[in-house]
Amino acid sequence: MPALPRRAALSLAIALLGPLAGPLVGCASGPSADLYQTFGGQPGLVALVDDFMDGMMRDPDLRPYFVNANRPHIKAELAAQFCAILGGPCEYKGMDMKMAHARYGIGDHEFNALVQDLQDAMDLHHIPYRAQNRFLAMLAPYRDDVVHPAPPSRVRPLLTIAPDAVVVPETVPTGGPQNKPPPR
């Protein structure tokens, strides 16, 4: 059986382990000051998020979500969130993930592309695979809050009226409305 590409393997692992990852976050694989420092502390996270956003802007599947967005704000929120998740001294005060992503119609394809762009940014910063995997395991519980496929388009059915249901007068009254009271 051929090996899965790294993107597919990790995306599959996140999809399958997502519901189980919550309990794992409290284990030794959870947040720690050491893990935070492996990512370079706050300066490392800011640089990582910069490259992550650059990757998403180059990604044809993700660019439409960010092209008109306030990218500096999103990057600051991501850096704070990543810092808090990794065990750094930050506190994430942004929106919860479900509310922040609900209206965008993000499906599995876009989520997997985002994971790949994050992995590419972590590779660019030479973050060890073990640390990447720990971080991805901590992010996995957010998958269900982020993925909200767009509802099917609602096409209104054609209005069908029986031909004899509408009566059209042969002539249209002229002169506009009358101010006279109706006859008694």
Annotated binding site for heme: 101
Binding-site residues from annotation: 101
HSE-CB at 109 with a 13 A cutoff on CA atoms is 7
Using the CB atoms, write b or e for 14-38: b if 16+ within 10 Å: bbebbeebeebbeeebebeeebbeb
Rounded to the nearest 10 degrees, how much is the dihedral formed by the CA atoms of 79, 148, 61, 127?
30
